Amino acid sequence: MKVAIGADHAGFSLKENLREFVREMGQDVTDVGAFSGEKSSDYPDWSWKVADCVASGRADRGILICSTGIGMSISANKVPGVYAALCTSELVARLSRQHNGSNVLVLGGSVTGPAMARAITSVWLATEAEDGRHLNRRRKIAEREAPGDAAGSKGRVVVTDHPLIQHKLSIVRDKNTSVKEFRELVQEIAGLMAYEISRNLPLEEIEVETPICLTKAQSLSGKKLAVVPVLRAGLGMVEGMLRLIPNAKVGHIGLYRDPETLQPVDYYCKLPNDIGDRDIFIVDPMLATGGSASASIAHVKKHGGRRISLVSLIAAPEGVARVTADHPEVAIFIAALDECLNEHGYIVPGLGDAGDRLFGTR
C-alpha cells in the first residue's frame, strides 16, 4: 500500500517515528515533510500535500500529524475525495475505517504518545471499509461534495434496461453470434447507453430562424467530455459512444487481467492533457471482479480526472461492490447486472471473454 505522511513542526517528531514504523510494516511510504521540527510552519500546507496525494490516487492512504490533530483534520477535509479522521484510540481508528471509510488518519502529537500512535496506525491500516448501511452514508457524503457530472448520477449504479438494449444484449450473449455481429452490436449498445448517460448535459438557449419565423431553441452548451476505453475490449464501445458525443476527446488505458491471479496488469496510459476539466466516461464491456475498473479509475484520478463515470455492458455484483467501495463517488452505468463470477473469474451467465469475441482471437 502507498502511504503519504506529513506533519507540521508540532507533529514532526511523531511523524519521524511513525514513518519508520509504517515502513517496517512493509508499506511504501512517501514523506511530504516537514523535514525539521525547529521552524514553525502552517498545518494546512502539509495537510494539502498529503490530501492531494490521496485524492489523486498517488497514495492509497494518508497520515497527518499536528499538535491536537484538529487543524489537520479541518483542512484535509476541504479536499474532495478525502475523508480525514482524527483518531485517539484503536477503537476509533477501527470504526473510522469500517464505518466512515476514512482514507487519511490524523493524530495529535501533543495528545497521543508514540506507543498509542503506533497501535492506532496499525489497526487503521489493517481495517477494511464495510458496505451496507455504511456505504449508503458514505455515498451521501460523496454526493454532497462532488460537483455535478454530465451523467448527473454520481456514485449511483444505473441499469439502463431499455428494451432495445436488452434485445441486443441477448444476441451478444449468444455463443453462436459471429465476431462481425458481436462487434456491431457492442457499438450499438454503447451508443444507446450514451443516450442515457448524457441525459443531464447542460443546455443553453439559442436563437434559430426556421423557414417560418425566429424562435428560441436549446443547444448543448459545450461541456467538455472524454471517453476512455480500457484496452482491448473497451475499444469495442468507443465508436458507438462517439456517434452521440462526437466532440469528446478519447484517452486510452491499457490493462489486462492476469488469468492466474485475476489482478490487473497495466501497460499503457494516454489521456487528454485537460482531463481534469472534462466529464470522463471510462468504458469497458465487462465489470467482473472490478480490479481492472478500479485500477483504471485510479489511473484517471492520478492524472487529475475528477468527474468520472464507468460504463459497462455486463457487471457482476462483486465488481460493482469493489468499484463502489474503492471509488464511492463514481457513477456506474451497466446494461445488465448478472448473477455471480465463476471459479475462473468470468461473469455468469455473461458473454464469455469480451476481448476475444470482439477481435476473434480465440
Give the binding site for ligand PRP (CB under 6 A): 230-233, 256-257, 262, 264, 284-293, 319, 345, 353-355
* DSSP-derived 3-state class of residue 78: coil
Q: Residue 347 touches which of ligand PRP, ligand URA, none (CB < 5 to 8 A by kind)? A: ligand URA
What is the grid cell recorded at 269?
A: 496510459
> How many CB atoms within 10 Å of residue 75?
21
- By the rule CB under 6 A, 256 interacts with ligand URA: no
Report DSSP state, residue 332.
Answer: E
How far apart are alpha carbons 279 and 151 in whole angstroms? Answer: 8
Q: Is 286 in the site for ligand URA (CB under 6 A)?
A: yes
**Known catalytic residue: 68?**
no
Q: Distance between CA atoms of 179 and 167, rounded to whole angstroms?
A: 18
Whether 324 is catalytic: no
CB nearer ligand URA, residue 7 or residue 336: 336
**25 φ, ψ to 5°?**
-75, -5
* Contact between 350 and ligand URA per CB under 6 A: yes
Q: 4 is in the binding site of which of ligand PRP, ligand URA, none (Cβ under 5 to 8 A by kind)?
A: none
Min dist. Cβ of residue 192 to ligand URA (A):
20
Query: Is 288 an interacting residue with respect to ligand URA (CB under 6 A)?
Result: yes
CA gap 147, 158 in Å, rounded:
19
**Residue whose CB is less far from ligand PRP, 131 or 274:** 131
DSSP code of residue 128: P
Instruction: Work out what residue 350 binds among ligand PRP, ligand URA, none; the CB cut-off runs from 5 to 8 Å by kind.
Output: ligand URA
| Torsion sign (Cα): 226, 232, 236, 237 | negative
d(CA 252, CA 236): 12
Q: Which is nearer to ligand URA, 264 or 305 (CB)?
A: 264
* Helices and strands per DSSP (H, E), number in the chain: 12, 18
234's grid cell: 473497451
CA–CA dist 125, 107 (Å, integer)? 14
Nine-digit cell at 16? 519521524
Which lies closer to ligand PRP via its Cβ, residue 62 or residue 355? 355
Active-site residue among 42, 174, 356, 361? 356
- Asked about 353 being catalytic, the answer comes back as yes
Catalytic site residue from 131, 137, 258, 261:
261
112 binds, among ligand URA, ligand PRP, none (CB under 5 to 8 A by kind): none
Q: Is 359 in the site for ligand URA (CB under 6 A)?
A: no
End-to-end, the C-alpha distance of the chain in Å comes to 36
Instruction: Indicate the helix (H) or strand (E) that contains 270.
Output: strand 264-270
**Secondary structure (3-state) at 193:** helix
- Sketch the per residue contact string, 210 through 249, with ligand URA: x for CB under 6 A, - otherwise: -----------------------x----------------
C-alpha cell, 59: 497514495
Is residue 72 helix, strand or coil?
Answer: helix
Is the Cβ of residue 55 or residue 288 nearer to ligand URA in the bound state?
288
Residue 230 binds which entry of ligand URA, ligand PRP, none, with Cβ cut-offs from 5 to 8 Å by kind? ligand PRP
Smallest distance, ligand PRP to C-beta of residue 224, A? 25
Residues annotated as catalytic (active site), given as ranges: 257, 261, 353, 356
Which residues make up the interface to ligand URA (CB under 6 A)?
233, 286, 288, 346-347, 350, 353-355
